Chains A and B, each alone.
Chain A
Amino acid sequence: MNFQDFLFYFFSGVLVFSALGVITLRNPVYAALLLVLAFFSSAGIWLLLEAEFLAITLVLVYVGAVMVLFLFVVMMLDINLEQLREGFWKWFPFGALLSLVLAIEMSMVLMGKQFNLENMPVPQPHGTDYSNTKELGRLIYTEYVYAFELAAVILLVAMVAAIALTLRYRTDKKSPNPSKQVAVKREDRLRIVCIPSESKE
């Protein structure tokens, strides 16, 4: 076992442990924090695969932004566990089906011998001047440009929809308009009056 193997098993161990924690822990804040740990360890595994762009983007986007908002929401909510459990048996068949599919997929990977997975060549390690970022950018903007643009448009639609759903103008409440406030000049608010001082008599 060399150092790279050690790192792989270390990250995988942490990943499995934290992923289990996400679904078993009762405290939702702990679960969210363990999900962050899971993202980190999978980023570590991706780094071992020389996919540094994906690894760092995972940390940047999911850990740095998405999970922050997740934690934000989880901490604000007063989660009632009894209420969460209510629909358990109703959704159990669907969940069981999903886990069955997952189990089949995993067994296909683990029993690779039956599917001739061993015939796949081992990926060649690249030199130090190989830039995963550049390679990914070239592929995305040439070969997969339509798929990429389509994904971008879908994201944009989702964003606009989210804003449109939550944006509401309330007429029963007064709220300040920052643009108006920032545009205020001295003359609008302040009147300088020149009062001559009276002479002392």
Chain B
Amino acid sequence: MDYTQQLFEQMFGTEWGITVFILAKNLFYIFAIVVPLLLAVAYLTFAERKIIAYMQIRVGPNRVTFFGIPWLRGWGQPIADAVKAIMKEIIIPTGANKFLFLLAPILTIAPALAAWAVVPFSPELVLADINAGLLYILAMTSLGVYGVIIAGWASNSKYAFLGSMRSAAQVVSYELAMGFALVCVLMMAESLNLGDIVKGQQGDSFLNWYLIPLFPMFLVYFISGVAETNRAPFDVAEGESEIVAGFHVDYSGMAFTVFFLAEYANMILVATLTSIMFLGGWLPPLNIAPFNLIPGIVWLLMKIAFMLFFFLWFRATFPRYRYDQIMRLGWKIFIPITLIWILLLGILLQLPESSKELFPLNLWFK
């Protein structure tokens, strides 16, 4: 590292060398996060097709393979899909606003990727270890809706516009419940830093994870996450049986694929945040020999995969919500639950030390 820094200082002078060095270093880290993430997105689409297929007693993609290896059948499918998407023509409708039409997919994927900057993969492995990490995540995830709204408007199509209106109202409503659920997490951790939130869950076993004291918040957060990513059963923004395909009905080729990528990147993000805030992040479930020898990032990846499975399971199982019921769930059920839980949690945190020892509350409310 020092050698590279000196190299940059020689190239750009002592004043700017350090700046350029930091920029180059961060750019390298960003690539180190985004490239595996996009690969994970590609294979998440494959996993989705396979898992839903097996749940519905089908086989799923089983043809495309690498170099004709028979036991890899199907594994080449995401790559083949990507190549196909790149080759296809991007059709821009005549009445569309060309600039905004092409800007919309970028606005969707940019926040989905930007949020990863503060995600800690292990105690040391984090791109930006900022104090207000949780707020940053909330801000970034709330931006994704712009792509959807602009896409719907710029397409100059009624179906697309209806889809984007639905999505806007839905995301804004569920963001509140999501935010309140996260308020509980930060009350427990007494910090907005995601690394500190995981460290607050450290202990002998999984009993210390916030999953147990904040179980209703875990449910609220995860369901709101599903709604926020516009996934089934909350995918009314697409609603292919009512409004064709919603906001991306006029998109084709790579422009459509970017929307698709953003949706899956957001799913992985929500799964990661759930693992970090409720399932102890990189912590092993039991802090004893065989478990704590496995590196933390492996545990984190396993938890993410576990949460992602739920997304796919939901899609295979539940019928789509009716729109007024979505709104009812968000405003009349989730928000009151979170408000009550915040109050309850505040009382529990302020209990005198002696009464905390009566119950095993000391495990969580130190």
| A133 close to B172 (CB less than 8 A) | no
Residues of A within 8 A of B132 (CB): 52-53, 56, 131-133
Q: Are A56's CB and B172's CB within 8 A?
A: no
B139 on interface, CB distance cutoff 8 Å: yes
Distance in angstroms between the alpha carbons of A59 and B139 in the assembled complex: 6
Residues of A within 8 A of B324 (CB): 176, 178
- Per the 8 Å Cβ criterion, residues 74-112 of B in contact with A are 100
**In the bound complex, CA of A29 to CA of B135 (Å):** 27
Nearest chain A residue, comparing its CB with the CB of B149: A71
Cβ distance A14 to chain B, nearest Cβ, rounded Å = 16
Q: How far is the CB of A86 from chain B (nearest CB, A)?
A: 26
B161 interfacial contact with A, CB 8 Å: yes
Q: A132 with B153: in contact, given A65-B172, A68-B146, A69-B172 (CB under 8 Å)?
A: no
- B25: min CB distance to chain A, Å: 14
Q: Mark B145-160, 1 if CB is under 8 A from A, else 0.
A: 1100110010000000
For window 104-159 of B, CB contacts with A under 8 Å fall at: 130-132, 135-136, 138-139, 142-143, 145-146, 149-150, 153
Chain A count of residues within 8 A CB distance of the other chain:
28
- Given A65-B172, A68-B149, are A131 and B328 neighbors across the interface (CB < 8 Å)? no
Q: Which residues of A contact B138 (CB under 8 A)?
A: 56, 60, 64
Chain B residue nearest to A129 (CB atoms) is B131
Chain B contacts for A181, CB-based, 8 A? 325
Known: A53-B135, A72-B149, A133-B132. A65 touches B175 (CB 8 A): yes
B-contacting residues, A156-201, CB 8 Å: 176, 178-179, 181-182
Of B15, B169, B325, which one neighbours A178 at CB under 8 angstroms?
A: B325
Contact bitstring A44-81, B, C-beta under 8 A = 1, else 0: 00000000110011011001110011011001100000
Residues of the B chain whose Cβ atoms lie less than 8 Å from the Cβ of A178: 324-325, 328
B222 CB, nearest partner CB in chain A, Å: 20
Distance of A52 Cα from B324 Cα, bound (Å): 37
Shortest A46–chain B CB gap in Å is 12
Once the chains are docked, how many angstroms separate the CA of A158 from the CA of B23?
46
Determine if B145 and A68 form an interchain contact, defined as CB atoms under 8 angstroms apart: yes
Q: Closest approach, in angstroms, between the C-beta of A170 and any C-beta of chain B?
A: 15
Nearest chain A residue, comparing its CB with the CB of B16? A3
Residue of A nearest to B132 (CB): A52
**How close is B194's CB to chain A, nearest CB, in angstroms?**
14
Within A1-32, which residues are at the interface with B (CB < 8 Å)?
A: 2-3, 29
A36, B172: Cβ atoms closer than 8 Å: no
- Checking B19, B142, B192 against A64 with a beta-carbon cut-off of 8 angstroms, the contacting residue is B142
In the complex, are the beta carbons of B15 and A2 less than 8 A apart? yes
Cβ of A63: which chain B residues have Cβ within 8 Å of it?
Answer: 139, 142-143
CB contacts under 8 Å to A, within B322-343, are: 324-325, 328, 332
CB distance from B247 to the nearest CB of A (A): 12
Chain B residue with minimal CB distance to A3?
B19
Of all chain B residues, the one with the shortest Cβ separation from A6 is: B19
Contacts of A36 in B (CB 8 A): 146
A-side contacts of B332, CB under 8 Å: 179
Q: Is B207 an interface residue (CB 8 A)?
A: no
Q: Which residues of B contact A (CB under 8 A)?
A: 15-16, 19, 100, 130-132, 135-136, 138-139, 142-143, 145-146, 149-150, 153, 161, 165, 168-169, 171-172, 175, 192, 324-325, 328, 332
The 5 closest A-B pairs by CB, nearest first: A64-B142, A60-B139, A59-B139, A3-B19, A56-B135
